[in-house]
Amino acid sequence: MYELLSNIPKGEVTTYGDIAQILKIPNGSRGIARILNKNPTPILIPCHRVVQSNGLLGGYAYGWHIKKELLKMEGIKINQDGFIENFERIRFKF
Domains and CATH numbers, the chain: 2-90 (1.10.10.10)
Q: Are 21 and 29 in contact (CB under 8 A)?
A: no
Q: What is the distance between the alpha carbons of residues 58 and 11, in angstroms, rounded to a whole number?
A: 17
Beta bridge partners of 42: none
Q: What is the pLDDT of residue 11?
A: 96
Q: What is the pLDDT of residue 43?
A: 81
Q: What is the pLDDT of residue 52?
A: 96
Q: What is the mean pLDDT of each run of 10 residues along the chain (94 residues)?
A: 90 96 94 91 91 94 93 97 96 92
Output the 3-class SS for 53-79.
CCCECCCCCCCHHHHHHHHHHCCCCEC
Q: What is the pLDDT of residue 34?
A: 92
User: How far apart, in Å, do the first and last CA atoms of the chain sit?
Assistant: 12
Q: What is the pLDDT of residue 83?
A: 97
Q: What is the distance between the alpha carbons of residues 5 and 78, in angstroms, rounded to a whole number?
A: 20
Is 90 tagged catalytic? Answer: no
Q: What is the pLDDT of residue 13?
A: 98
Q: What is the pLDDT of residue 2?
A: 84
Catalytic residue among 5, 13, 47, 50: 47
Q: What is the pLDDT of residue 94?
A: 87
Q: List helix spans (H) across 1-94.
A: 2-5, 16-22, 29-36, 64-73, 87-90
Q: Are 12 and 94 in contact (CB under 8 A)?
A: no
